Amino acid sequence: MPRPAADPSRPATPERLLIAAEREFARAGYQAARLEDIAAEAGIQRASLLHHFGSKEALYSSIVGRSFAALGAALTGPTLEPGRFERRLERLVRAFAKFVDARPALARIILRELIGEAGPGRAILLEQVVPLLVRVEGFVRREGRERIRPRLPVRAALLDTAGALLIRAASGDLRASLWGPSDRGWTVARALFLKETRHSRVSRGHAAREARA
């Protein structure tokens, strides 16, 4: 009997597993997540899951590793493109926000790793996040040296911005109640990073008058 034709709209099995695993690891954490539950959500048996990923650690590492590779690619463009520093920094912040907003489960996984004492994802965070952080910090210091605030602790400012955006992305149905309906991530980042100029004071005054109108 011929095998039924594959549904072209359905992701391949490894991709379904990664999607299901990301949700389960975000919900339960690495230790409590069960391969049986992940396999069931992906529509396969546990043995089939282990055929694609030999262990829970391998599955988890695949999720975290590929996610940070994709994040690095998303953040590369704004740091390399020509143009004014302010515009490139804005694109960088918005690219990060867009990435984590599209992956709230990943945001929860990252936060779990940051506050946990052990886990296979911590090594990946150190191997992939630290070089990415160094690269972005270098961009801000090099390209923004005339525009960033004097004596700004650039790495701390980057981590404060990223941490706030991660928490917002991970907050689920609390997001609107806590942050409101508008995205103010770039507004906060701009105030944190950039020196005030006459143009920025005029723009802020114009925005305030519009808000009161």
Q: Distance between CA 25 and CA 33 in Å, rounded?
A: 6
Q: What's the CA gap between 180 and 75, in Å, rounded?
A: 26
Q: What is the pLDDT of residues 60-90, one digit of tens each?
A: 999 988 888 899 999 999 999 899 999 999 9
CB 161 within 8 A of CB 102: no
Supply the pLDDT for residue 2. Answer: 41
What's the pTM value of the predicted model, to 2 decimals? 0.83
Query: Are the C-beta atoms of residues 104 and 172 closer than 8 Å to each other?
Result: yes
pLDDT at 65 (0 to 100): 87
Tell me, what's the pLDDT at 86? 96
| Cα angle value 77/82/85 (rounded, 5°) | 90
Structural tokens at position 172: 């689920």
Q: What is the DSSP letter of 129?
A: I
State how far the Cα of 204 lies from the Cα of 206, in Å rounded to an integer. Answer: 5
pLDDT bracket for residue 118 (50, 70, 90): low
Question: Which of the four pLDDT bands, split at 50, 70 and 90, describes residue 170?
Answer: very high
pLDDT above 70 covers what percent of the chain?
86
* Beta carbons within 8 Å of 17's beta carbon, 6+ residues apart: 38, 39, 42, 44, 49, 52, 53, 59
